[in-house]
A and B are shown apart, each in its own frame.
Chain A
Amino acid sequence: DTAVSQTPKYLVTQMGNDKSIKCEQNLGHDTMYWYKQDSKKFLKIMFSYNNKELIINETVPNRFSPKSPDKAHLNLHINSLELGDSAVYFCASSQFDQSSYEQYFGPGTRLTVT
C-alpha cells in the first residue's frame, strides 16, 4: 500500500547514456512533481504535472523530459547523462487544496553518473 513509489532506487550509469526513472502514486492526487536533491541536500523542483498537463517547468536542461501517461504516473527520462546529473531524484504528489498543502514524496532514486 505504498503511497508514492519510484523505480529504480539506485541507478549507476556512464556519461552519455540515456536512462529513465518511473514514479507512481496511488493516493488519487491530481498533481505530481520531480525534484532534484544535490549533495548539499538542496531540494529543487524540476517539473510539475497537473492531471497530465505540465504546469511547472523550471530551468532544467532539455536533456530532461518528463512524461505523464496518466495522472497516477510521472516518469523522467534523461538523455546524454552528465557527471553533474548525479543526485537524488524525488517524485512527489499532492492534491490541490486552498487550506492545506502537503506533498508526499517517494523514496528517491540515487543516480550516479561515472
Chain B
Amino acid sequence: GQSLEQPSEVTAVEGAIVQINCTYQTSGFYGLSWYQQHDGGAPTFLSYNALDGLEETGRFSSFLSRSDSYGYLLLQELQMKDSASYFCAVRDRGGSARQLTFGSGTQLTVLP
C-alpha cells in the first residue's frame, strides 16, 4: 500500500518563506503532486514532479528526491491568501497509473 507523511500544521508570517515536507512509501512510484485547498473550496493543482530536482512556478517551488522518497513544497514571499491546506499526493501504478493517493494535508496559517 501507500503512505504519505506531512506536518499537520505550519504557521508563518507574511513575506516569509515556508517549506512543507512530504515523505512517502509506495510501490511503482511515478510522481509527486501538490494541491492547495482553501476552506470550503476544491483542491487545486500546484505542481507535479516526476524527476528529481526543483520545479519553480512563480512564488511556489516543488522538490523531489526519488532516492529519499521525499519531496517538499516551498512557498516564498508568503501572502495572507496563501493560508490554506496543502496536500502532497503520489501517483503510482494503481489504476493504470491514473491514481493519486493524498497525504493528510498541512494547514498553513499566514499571520500578518
A interface residues with partner B (beta carbon < 8 Å): 31, 40-45, 48, 50, 55-56, 90, 94, 96, 99-108
- CA A41 – CA B42 in complex, angstroms? 11
Chain B interfacial positions (CB closer than 8 Å to A): 30-31, 33, 37, 41-45, 48, 50, 85, 87, 91, 94-102, 104-105
- Structural contact, B50 and A107, CB atoms closer than 8 A: no
Give the residue of B37, B41, B42, B48 whose beta carbon is less than 8 angstroms from that of A100: B48
Q: How far is the CB of B106 from chain A (nearest CB, A)?
A: 10
List 19 A–B pairs whose Cβ atoms lie within 8 Å, in order of A's numbering: A31-B98, A41-B104, A42-B102, A42-B104, A43-B102, A45-B100, A45-B101, A50-B96, A55-B95, A55-B98, A56-B94, A56-B99, A90-B43, A96-B97, A101-B30, A101-B33, A102-B33, A103-B43, A105-B44
Contacts of A45 in B (CB 8 A): 99-101
Given contacts A31-B98, A40-B104, A42-B104, contact A102 B45 (CB under 8 A): yes
User: Looking at A45, A101, A105, which has the most chain B CB atoms within 10 Å of its CB?
Assistant: A101
With A48-B95, A55-B96 in contact, do A103 and B102 touch (Cβ < 8 Å)? no
- What residues of A have a CB within 8 angstroms of the CB of B104 in the complex? 40-42
A98 to B60, alpha carbons, bound, how many Å? 23
| Chain B residue contacts of A104, Cβ below 8 A | 45
Q: What's the count of A-B pairs with C-beta under 8 Å?
A: 61
In whole angstroms, how far apart are the Cα atoms of A96 and B30 in the complex?
A: 13
Q: Which of A40, A56, A102, A106 contacts B42 (CB 8 A)?
A: A106
3 tightest Cβ-Cβ pairs between the two chains A and B: A56-B95, A105-B42, A43-B102
In Å, the complex CA distance between A108 and B37 comes to 12
Judging by beta carbons under 8 Å apart, are B98 and A43 in contact? no
* B100:A103 contact, CB within 8 angstroms: yes
List chain A residues, Cβ under 8 A from B102: 42-44
Alpha-carbon separation in the docked complex, A112 to B16 (Å)? 39
